[in-house]
Amino acid sequence: MSLSSNALPASPFPIFTTVASYREWREKAYDEKKSVGFVATMGALHEGHLSLVRRSLAANDLTVLSIFVNPAQFAPNEDLATYPRSLPDDVELLSSLSLSVDLPDEKGISESVTRTPSALFLPTVSEMYPSGISQDVSEQKGTFVEVKGYGHQMEGKTRPTFFRGVATAVTKLFNVIEPTRTYFGQKDIQQALLLRRMTRDLLLSHPSPENLYIVPTARDTISSLALASRNAYLTPRERDYAAPALYDALQVGERAWESGETKAECVSHAHRVISETMARLNGIGKERIEMQLDYIEFNDPEGFDVLPDAVTLEQWESEEGRGGQERPIILSGALWVGRTRLIDNIILGDPLRIGMMI
């Protein structure tokens, strides 16, 4: 797809489709000693994305978003072709976003300043992959980034090439945007933690690992369903009655964990929530909703190792259980509802210990 500037929606902020044009703008920000916050997205923006943008507006002079549906993170059998794309709506949403921030003026007196998104980076596939890109890893040529040992568990078990695609695209985005700070969502917790590790391993300075922030999951105010672009695939009945079962199941697992049950028991309680929802929704005479649980699991946030079945909260909190470190646990799951794959997670323990914002 090529993007000519007259195909772009009108916008109060510049939209850069080339690396060169963005870099000119970034150079000016360096000259003016302005900090740049960055939010990477695949578009079809929703309140979850906006919560990341607000965090960036609060802490940075300038805020840049990217919208890029990255082919390398979609396996050949996944939904690259149908992924929701809504650029005019996205630009409209961003155009109406502003945040009032109290800043000291030259005399140190606090004054209120209104910040709005500063720029959108909207590259084409060929701009991002000058050597070309195939979704089939065996056919790929060129340079790729792999965070070895951290991308095969949890989401990587079902999507084995996903994190290689994400790490490659995000490395490129970081190289272009050169953010002072960057913001990722808890909804994709493995992605955020893996990318923080990548910034550390690659000795990146823009952003440095401590400037990669993880923002809590934004949820539907009524059903608590985690907001996601792919929720657009859900039918109203799937969205209202089936999809919320994933978070319900995780919450049941969380309560069982806190009451001292073993990991295996907690997982089994969570599974039961899904199977009972399926039975309730698909009773005689009801329009069928296909639901298929991919996984519900407890993982160590450090290396994403699966917790042993027999472990309990008491054991995890003991010196032996977690090697003397006060690490929380990721309780996460993935559920198919119709053609939509939903993911969600709860952090068991103190989220600050994995550097999450609150």
Ligand X SMILES: Nc1ncnc2c1ncn2[C@@H]1O[C@H](COP(=O)(O)OP(=O)(O)OP(=O)(O)O)[C@@H](O)[C@H]1O
Ligand Y SMILES: CC(C)(CO)[C@@H](O)C(=O)[O-]
How many residues touch ligand BAL (CB under 6 A)? 2
8 Å CB contact between 352 and 304: no
What is the distance between the alpha carbons of residues 166 and 163, in angstroms, rounded to a whole number? 5
Decide if residue 90 touches ligand BAL (CB under 6 A).
no
With contacts defined by CB under 6 A, name the span among 47-55, 100-108, 171-179, 261-269 that binds ligand X: 47-55
Q: Which does 49 bind (CB under 5 to 8 A by kind): ligand X, ligand Y, ligand BAL, none?
A: ligand X
- For this structure, is 49 an active site residue? yes
Nearest to 49 by CA among 18, 84, 81: 84
73 forms part of the interface with ligand BAL (CB under 6 A): yes
Structure tokens at 99: 């945040």
Distance from C-alpha of 133 to C-alpha of 143, rounded to nearest angstrom: 10
Spell out, one character per residue from 174 to 203, where the chain touches ligand Y: x when CB under 6 A holds, - when not: --------------x--x------------
How many angstroms separate the CA atoms of 347 and 352, rounded? 10
Q: Does 120 bind ligand Y (CB under 6 A)?
A: no
The residues pairing with 341 across neighbouring beta strands, listed in sequence order, are 336
**Residues 24-63 within binding reach of ligand Y (CB under 6 A):** 40-42
Q: What is the CA radius of gyration of the chain?
A: 21
Closest CA to 64 of 2, 122, 8, 130: 122
Asked if 51 is part of the footprint of ligand BAL (rule: CB under 6 A), the reply reads no
Judged by CB under 6 A, the residue of 17, 51, 60, 70 near ligand Y is: 70
CB distance 55 to 99 below 8 Å: no
Residue closer to ligand BAL by CB (options 82, 259) is 82
Let me know the angle formed at the C-alpha of 76 by 197 and 72, rounded to the nearest 5 degrees: 35
Q: Specify the 3-state DSSP secondary structure of 277.
A: helix
Q: How far apart are CB 309 and ligand X at their closest, in Å?
A: 29
Within 185-214, which residues bind ligand X (CB under 6 A)?
A: 185-188
Scan for tokens 């969205």, then name that residue.
239
Side chain identity, residue 55: R
How are beta strands 181-185 and 119-121 bridged, if at all? unpaired
73 binds ligand Y (CB under 6 A): yes
170 binds, among ligand Y, ligand BAL, ligand X, none (CB under 5 to 8 A by kind): ligand Y
Whose Cβ is closer to ligand Y: residue 188's or residue 297's? 188
- Tokens representing 3 are 């993007």
217: partner contacted, choices ligand BAL, ligand X, ligand Y, none (Cβ within 5-8 A by kind):
ligand X
Residues interacting with ligand X, by CB under 6 A? 41-42, 48-49, 51-52, 184-188, 215, 217-218, 226-230
Q: Could you list the active site residues?
A: 49
In the complex, the residues that contact ligand BAL under the rule CB under 6 A are 73, 188
Under the rule (CB under 6 A), what is the footprint of ligand Y?
Answer: 40-42, 70, 73, 166, 169-170, 188, 191
